[in-house]
A and B are shown apart, each in its own frame.
Chain A
Amino acid sequence: MRANFTQAAGLGTGPMSFEPYRTQAHFELERERIFRRTWLIMGRIEDVPNAGDYIVKEVEICNASILITRQASGAVKAFHNICSHRGNQVVWDTKGTRKTMFRCPYHNWTYGNDGKLLAVSDEKMFFNLDKKKCGLDSVQCDVWDGWIFINLNPDNRVSLREYLGSMGEFLSGIPYPNAHRSIRIQAYLKCNWKFLIDAFSESYHIPVLHSKTIGPTFSGKINPMSHLQNAEFFGPHHSISLFGNPDYKPEEAALVEKLAYAGMVSENVLAANQSQDTMDLRAHRSVNPAKSQTWSMDINEIFPNFHLDVAGGGFWTHEIWPITQDFSRYEMRFFVPKPETVREAFHQEHYIARLADVVLEDLANVERTHKGVAAGVKKQMHLQEHEVLIRRMLKLHEEFEESATLEEALKRCAWADSPDTAEPALEPVA
C-alpha cells in the first residue's frame, strides 16, 4: 500500500496542458505513434470458442477492419478484412460461428479462415493472377490470459508479453468468471477519446457526479471523497484500487432494488455474481493488491485504450476507440452469468439498468468537458493527487509521441515504474 501516488509515480505536480485533447496534430501523432504501434485489445478467447468461429473488430483511427478467426488447430489468427480483388471488406457482419470459408459478397472471391485465397469466380478472365499471393493480409495476433490482442505494425518486434511486461505478470492467472457471456453497453460520443479514458480513471468524481447511482457505494463516512486505496505503476500500464463503503445499504424506498437483490449474497451493487462464485477471483494476489478491508474494485489500465476492471462480484471492461479528433466509440462489456430463472433475469436487468444510468452520467459529462476544452479559453487543467492516472496518461503519451519506435517508447516509460514496487505475494492472502 502506498501513499503519495503522484510522487511515487515520478510525476510533477504542476497544471497540465489541454492541447493534447483538442489539436489535430496530437491526434495524428496518436494514430501513428500509438495505435499503429501498440498491441490493441480485440476480445476474449471465448468470443471465438470453436474452430471456424470469427469476430470482426474496427480500429477506426487506422481505418482498419480486423477479422479474427479460430483455426482448426485451435490457434487464433487475425487478418485485415480486405479483399485482394478490389479492396472491399470480405466479411460484412461482426461475428459468426463454424465458418471455415469467407466469400466476398462483391464478386465471390473466396478465402479460407487461414487467409488463403481458395477460389476466384470467372478466374480465366484474369491476367496471370497468382492466387498464392492474393490471400488476406495477416495481422500480428497473440493471446494473453484469454485476452486477444493485435498489432497493426507488420514490422513490430515487441511481443505481447514484452509489451504487457510487469503488468502482465501482475494480473496473470486471474480467474475470470463468466468470460463466455457478456452484455455490452455501446455509445458514440462527440468528444476526444482521452476524455473517456480520464472519465474512467479516477474516483474523485464519483461522490459528486454519481451521487444518486453509485456514490454511496464508493464513498462514505470514513472516506467521503472516495480517495484511492492503492496505485501500482507498470511501464505504460497502471492499476488503482477504489474504496468501497462498508456501510452501504439500499435506501428504505428502494423497494425494487431490494427485491432484485433478495436471495443474492453478493459483494456490492456492482456484483453480477453470487459471492460464492467469485471467491477464487477475490483470492488472487493482484485483486485488491493491498488486501484492504474497505475495497470495492481495481481499475487496471492497459495502454492505450483498454480498462480491465475487477470487483469482488465479477469483472468488466471498457474499450475506448478514437474515430476522429472529436468523435469516439465507447464500449463497456459486463461478463455475467446466464440467468436460469425469472428472479435471476430480474436481478440482471436491474444490474445492467443501473450501470447504463451510471455510464450515461459519465458519457453526457465527457461531451460537456470536450466542449469546454475545445473552446480554447482555458490553457491547462489542475489535477489532484487522486487523479494521478490522468497526469500519468498524459506523460505516457508524451513518451510515445517522442519515440521513434515502440521499443524506445517502452524504455522511456520505465521512469514510471516505481523503484520500490513490491513483488506481489505468491500465495493468496486469506
Chain B
Amino acid sequence: MRIVATVPSGERPLPAGFESLEPFVTYWAVAGQNERRHQRCDTTFEEIRRFYDAMLPRADAAMQHLSGFPLRDMPGPEARLMRLVLSLAQASMAVEVQGSARVPNAPWPDTVRILTEETL
C-alpha cells in the first residue's frame, strides 16, 4: 500500500511561515488516522526521527495558526499542516516510546486497522 498526500496545482503546500516543513507533506500530510499510523509503521526509524525533529519545534505554532480555522473545513494548506501535526503524534510513539519504528517483534505488515467515524 502506497499512500501520499497531493497538492493541487496552484495551491501552496503549507501556509506561509511553515515552508521548512514542505519536504514532509507528501509522505506525512495524509488524511486518516489509519493512514497516518500506516506511514509511521511503513518507514525507517531514521525517517521518522527526521520528521519528528523538524515538526516538534513547529507544532505549537502550527496549532496556534490552525486554531483560527474550523477543524472540519480548512483550506488545503491548513488541512495539510493539521495532518502533519497529527502525524507527529504517530511519530512520537516511535521516538518517545518504542525507540524503534514499530512495536519490537511485532509483524509488519499487520492486520491492525484503526476505524474512525470521520476522516480528519
Contacts and interface: CB of A to CB of B under 8 A. Distances in A.
Interface string B104-120: 01110011111111001
Interface in B82-120: 82, 85-86, 88-93, 95-99, 102-103, 105-107, 110-117, 120
A213 B97 contact: yes
Contact of B114 (A183, A254, A259, A340): A183
A339 B71 contact: yes
A212 B82 contact: no
A346 B98 contact: no
Interface stretch (B2-10, B13-21, B22-30, B55-63): B55-63
Given A255-B56, A257-B96, A189 B111 contact: yes
B103 to A, nearest CB: 5
Interface string A143-183: 00000000000000000000000000000000000000111
Interface string A195-217: 00000000000000000110000
B99 A359 contact: no
A184 B33 CA distance: 11
B92 A341 contact: no
Contact of B66 (A186, A340, A342, A352): A342
Nearest to B116: A183
The SS class assigned to the B binding surface is: helix
A356 B86 contact: no
A339 B86 CA distance: 13
A57 interface: no
Contacts of A213: 97-98
Contacts of B36: 349
A134 interface: no
A357 B97 contact: yes
B115 A259 contact: no
Given A183-B115, A353-B37, A354-B97, A341 B67 contact: yes
A1 interface: no
A78 to B, nearest CB: 22
Nearest to B63: A342
Contact of A353 (B52, B93, B107): B93
A345 B111 contact: no
Contact of B71 (A342, A349, A353): A342
Nearest to A212: B97
B111 A188 contact: yes
A184 B116 CA distance: 7
The SS class assigned to the A binding surface is: helix
B85 A346 contact: yes
A254 B117 CA distance: 29
A259 B110 contact: no
Interface string A330-362: 000000000111110110011011101101110
B115 to A, nearest CB: 4
Given A186-B112, A342-B71, A360-B112, A212 B86 contact: no
A354 B92 CA distance: 9
Contacts of A340: 71
Contacts of B63: 342-343, 346
A251 interface: yes
B112 A256 contact: no
A212 B113 contact: no
A260 interface: yes
B106 to A, nearest CB: 4
A187 B112 contact: yes
Nearest to B112: A187
Contact of B92 (A188, A350, A361): A350
Interface in A252-280: 253-257, 259-260
A185 interface: yes
Contacts of B103: 357, 360-361, 364
Contacts of B86: 345-346, 349
A10 to B, nearest CB: 38
B9 to A, nearest CB: 26
A222 to B, nearest CB: 24
A363 B106 contact: yes
Interface of A: 181-189, 212-213, 251, 253-257, 259-260, 339-343, 345-346, 349-350, 352-354, 356-357, 359-361, 363-364, 367
7 tightest A-B contacts by CB?
A256-B92, A364-B106, A350-B89, A349-B89, A184-B115, A188-B111, A342-B66
21 contacts: A183-B117, A184-B113, A185-B115, A187-B110, A189-B111, A213-B97, A251-B96, A254-B92, A256-B92, A257-B96, A339-B120, A345-B71, A346-B88, A349-B36, A353-B40, A353-B90, A354-B97, A356-B112, A360-B112, A361-B103, A364-B103
